[in-house]
Structure 1
């Protein structure tokens, strides 16, 4: 997909820098590639997909030297103030500035009523709410310096249309959605904060604990007015729009092919 948004140069005239959490593959990688194509230097964060992240960075650096780096970290580092401080130092030592922070890292799996336990709560709230908030807070001084912005990847199920059997995930994403709106108020006017809420824009990997059966996949596709799964590039397009939309803050763009218009709250 060709994105026509122009890179906005920071106050110091240097090439802007974008950090995307969980960006070794899938939607995160699409955002990284789209931003890099528009001239950004990119920080690719990953936890368990270092091989994919390094391959992506190699590809981008082959196109433009010294334009992509990889940082490997478990976002549980936000639980420890010294570990978080070290992580922030690692981020800022890559290119010396940060213009855009994209919260993409997320865990997604069912937690049906009657089988909800503390480990699910801790993991889903960590990746989908706690880490985005504490990373935003820690990186705020650097984003303010560049008059930068934050974009969060949310979910159409975070507002009024809960996913059946995904109670904890729904709650965590709803918290993240409120974070976007709260931080938009708190961080203005120096830093803008917005969100993108995908529908079915990429299916879970077949061999993962998030996998969806083929029959269920067909039912989902049939429930989407556009009659297809969305593309990661379509999410990247909306992210870059929000990065360049300098009078937009506190907004959440739905990118779901019309699915939320017909959604009853279940997987189908």
Structure 2
């Protein structure tokens, strides 16, 4: 269970809020980091496999505002070990001495067709999409409570009544994460607010991934979206930043999907 810290330097501005985003070296996570940084947040970029991208992002942000971004490298499986989790929390809290916003963005996503579902798929998909968000929320709750902070989870429009075909384990894990948001909103009130953002197609799979889509598949998806385009990571980040500042909103899940959930009845 690797944990490494990069770019932690002496602080200059100590009154600015701090946001931790899991899985934030690139794509939607990086967009959230950039948007938060632009609004005056000090940011903690968490990653596991994308250390180079994370360090590049942190260096860029620190050039515009010194000592404002750090990188924490860790496997989210730290939640399976009490001592490792405690060390992870300590490492995070040493970065800036406080935590105001925790964003659960890290996620694994791949199909699990009936007949091929196995224990490893269950463990991995539930770890990143349900177990780690819950145990990290619990571990950071005392620090978030001190700051009267908040938790924001990245969910999925398919986590509620519209399952992806052949993605049973992922669907179940995201549905559990959605219920976590609503449950913790009750359990952590009034000290910590807990909300979620449910994207639709706001970013396409990477071209070299096993989930890559060809042009015909992309056109089919766009045709199914009332707004007639793929969403942008910045549009997710905008909603996350709104929820970070919406002091009387808790237990809510904002759908950011260009209207796709209005026309989607489950399936691919």
User: Which segments of 5 or more consecutive residues in structure 1 lack a partner in the other structure?
Assistant: 1-12
Aligned to 1:203: 204
In the TM superposition, what whole-angstrom CA distance separates every residue of 1:87-143 from its partner, at most 9, and x where no partner exists? 000000000000000000000001111111111000000000000000000000000
Q: Distance in 1 between matches of 2:183 and 2:101?
A: 18
In the TM superposition, what whole-angstrom CA distance separates every residue of 1:169-191 from its partner, at most 9, and x where no partner exists? 00000000000000000000000
Aligned to 1:228: 229
In the TM superposition, what whole-angstrom CA distance separates every residue of 1:67-99 from its partner, at most 9, and x where no partner exists? 000000010110000000000000000000000
Aligned to 1:245: 246
Tell me if 1:38 matches 2:2: no
Aligned to 1:74: 75
Which is further off, 60-69 or 209-218?
209-218
Aligned to 1:142: 143
Shift of 1:210: 2.5
Aligned to 1:60: 61
Residues 93-112 of structure 1 mapped to structure 2, 5 A cutoff? 93-112=94-113
Shift of 1:45: 0.1
Q: Distance in 2 between matches of 1:56 and 1:237?
A: 19
Could you state the TM-score of these two structures normalised by the residue count of structure 2?
0.94
Q: Distance in 2 between matches of 1:16 and 1:242?
A: 14
Aligned to 2:194: 193
Q: Distance in 1 between matches of 2:154 and 2:55?
A: 23
Q: Distance in 2 between matches of 1:245 and 1:209?
A: 38
Q: Distance in 2 between matches of 1:217 and 1:165?
A: 19
Tell me if 1:216 matches 2:217: yes
Shift of 1:214: 2.6
Q: Distance in 1 between matches of 2:211 and 2:74?
A: 22
Aligned to 2:8: none
Aligned to 1:124: 125
Q: Distance in 1 between matches of 2:181 and 2:146?
A: 20
Q: Once superposed, which parts of structure 1, at least 4 consecutive aligned residues long, lie more than 3 Å away?
A: none
Aligned to 1:50: 51
In the TM superposition, what whole-angstrom CA distance separates every residue of 1:125-165 from its partner, at most 9, and x where no partner exists? 00000000000000000000000000000000000000111
Q: Distance in 2 between matches of 1:164 and 1:96?
A: 44
Could you state the TM-score of these two structures normalised by the residue count of structure 1?
0.94
Which is further off, 207-216 or 57-66?
207-216
Q: Distance in 2 between matches of 1:230 and 1:247?
A: 27
User: Which segments of 5 or more consecutive residues in structure 2 lack a partner in the other structure?
Assistant: 1-13
Shift of 1:212: 2.4
**3-state secondary structure, aligned to 1:237:** helix
In the TM superposition, what whole-angstrom CA distance separates every residue of 1:208-231 from its partner, at most 9, and x where no partner exists? 122223321111111000010000
